[in-house]
Amino acid sequence: MPTARAISTAVLLSTATLLASSLAACAPTGQDGDRHGDTGGATTDAQALTSLRNQSLTWKDCPAPAPIQGGGEAPGALPDGTRWQCATLRTPLDWKNPSGESMDLALIRARAAGDPDDRIGSLLFNFGGPGGSGVATLPGLAPDYEKLRTRYDLVSFDPRGVGNSAGVRCLDAGLPSEEEIDNTPDDGGDETNALVRFNRETAAACEKNSGDVLAHVGTTQAAQDMDLMRQVLGDEKLHYFGISYGTELGGVYAHLFPEHVGRAVLDGVVDPTDDLMEEALAQAGGFQLAFEHFAAWCARQGCTLGDDAEDIVDLVVGLEAALDDTPLPTSDDGELDGDALVEAISGALYRQDYWPALRVGLEAAADDNGEVLRDLAEALGQHGRGGDTDDDSTDGTTPEESNEDDAFRAITCDDSSSRYTVADVLSRLPDFLEASPLFGPGLAWSALSCDGWPVPGAARHPEVSAPGAPPVLLVGNTGDPATPYEGAARMAERLGKDVGVELTYEGEGHGAYDSGNTCVQDTVNAYLLTGTLPKPGTVCEAEPLPEGK
C-alpha cells in the first residue's frame, strides 16, 4: 500500500502507519515488462518451451518500486540480514504461441533462513486484486511469513499486465477520473449515460495504449506463468499461498496442473461459481454483514451513533443519502460525499484494526465534520495506487501512477464473458438494495465495468476442478466482506472430492492469516511446514478488540 497523506486524528495516524507497513517494496532491475519479438526464426513451439524452462534467472538487489508498481522505497534487509533479490522471467506473450513474442515478468524473493537440508523449496505468493504488485507487496508483509521462511524461499511476482510485467495502461488525455463519475446513478438519465460513456472510453483507451497485451492478461495464462516459474526455480511441485483473487489463480492452477500442486493454501476464498453480477451481489451481502458487526461493536463501545446496531446502520444509510445531496466541505477545498463515505467504510471493513478509526470518522461526520472520513477514504482507497500523484505535469499528461485499477479491469474482463447492460443492472437493482442499501447500488453498477471491452472474456466463471490433486487448504472467514465465507465451501466442492480441506475462522476482515490470529497461523504453518492438515470441522475463533479501542 502506498504512503497516505497525514490523517486528521491520532487514531487515524496510527491507522495510516498500519496502512504504510506494507509499503516496503522493490522493483526488478532491467527493462521489466518489455515485449520481445520472435528472434528464433524457425524455432518450434517445443524448442521455445525448452529454452524457456532452461533459462537462468539473474538475481540482483532490488531497487525502489517503479511508480507503476505503487512507488515507495527500496526494501531493507530482513532482521537476519537477508537482502531482497529481484529478477525477470521470460515467458511467452501468448501461451498458445510460445515460439512467438515474449514478455518479462518481475519477480522478488527472500532466501530461506533455516538449515539448507530442511529447505522445502519456493513458496509463491499472490496477494489478490487482481492487479496488485506482488513485488511491491511481499517485503512489507514478510514479518507475517517469517516462520515460513525457515523452510521456504519467499517468492512473489507481478502477474502479466500488472506493474513491471507489461503493465496495462488505460490513461488517456481528456478522460475523466473515476472520482469524477457518479458510480451510483439514481436513474437512467445523464448520470447513467456518463457512467456508460466512462466505461466505454476507458476500454477504448486501454486498447489504444495496451492493445498488444490486453488479450493475454487472463488468469489462465497467469497460471501457466506460475508453472514456468516452478520449473525455472527448480521445484518439482508448486508450493503456493494465494489470498483473495489469488485463491482463484490457485484454483485455476490446480485445474491445469493437478500433478504439480504441492502444499497450497487459499485464504479469503473466491466463490468460483459466481459470475460478475453474482459476485457483486454476494459482496453486497458480505459488506452489509461486516458493517452490522462493526455497528454492534460500536454500540457496545458506547459510540454516539446509536443505541444498537440497527440504529447505527439506519443513521449511516441516511447520512450517505444526505451527503449525496449536500456533501460536507473539507479544509483542503475537497468534500465528503456519499461515495467517499461508502469508500471509507468499505476500506475500514477489510481489517478489524481499522474499526476504531471508522468510529471516529463516522461520529465526526454525523456532527457535520467530514475531514476524518475524507482522509480515511483517501488513505484506504489508495491500495497500490502509488500514493499522492499531485505532481503537476508539464506536458499535459496524467502523472504516472500505479496501474492496479487498470490491471484489475483488464484481468477481470479478460476472464469474464459477462457483458452486462444498464437494463441488466436496473432489473437486478432491487436485489442489491435488499442485500444492502448502503453498498448494494455501487456494487450493482460495477457490473457495467466490462461494457465495451475490446477482448472477449474467457467464461462466465473460472474452471477449478482438480481431480487427482493433493489436498489444498481453504481458509474461510465468517465475517469476510469481500470474499464471503460461503465461497470456501463452493471452492472445495468445485476442486473435487478429497482436494479442498476447509478451515473456518470466526472473525472479521478480509482473509484470516494476516489477522494475526494464532490459531489460524499455527494451523496454516503446520500444513506448509510439515504437511499436517487440520481435522475436518476445525474452527479458529477471533479474539475480540480490547474494550475502549
Catalytic residue list: 244, 480, 510
- Tell me if residue 338 falls in helix, strand or coil: helix
By C-alpha distance, which of 177, 167, 154, 146 is closest to 68?
Answer: 167
Cell numbers for 360, please give them.
471516529
Measure the CA–CA gap between 132 and 90, rounded to whole angstroms.
20
Measure the CA–CA gap between 166 and 291, rounded to whole angstroms.
37
First to last CA, the chain: 24
Element at 126 (helix H, strand E): strand 121-126
Residue with cell 478489524: 352
Question: Ramachandran region of residue 108, left (φ > 0), alpha (ψ -120 to 50) or beta?
Answer: beta
Task: Quote the distance between the C-alpha of residue 21 and its chain's center.
Answer: 16
Rg (CA), the chain: 23
Measure the CA–CA gap between 541 and 549, rounded to whole angstroms.
19
- Residue partners of 127: CB distance under 8 A and separation at least 6: 134, 137, 138, 141, 156, 243, 244, 246
Residues 76-85 as b/e (b if ≥16 CB within 10 A, e otherwise) read eebeeebebb
CB 230 within 8 A of CB 475: no
DSSP 3-state helix, strand, coil percentages of the chain (rounded to 5)? 45, 15, 45
What is the per-residue DSSP string for 157-213?
A: E--TTSTTTT------TTPPPGGGS-SS-SSSSHHHHHHHHHHHHHHHHHHHHHHHH
User: Taken in order 104, 168, 447, 456, is the CA torsion positive or negative?
Assistant: negative
Residue type for position 435: A
Cell numbers for 81, please give them.
540480514
Q: How far is CA 374 from CA 8, 176, 339, 344, in A?
A: 10, 20, 10, 7
- Residue partners of 115: CB distance under 8 A and separation at least 6: none
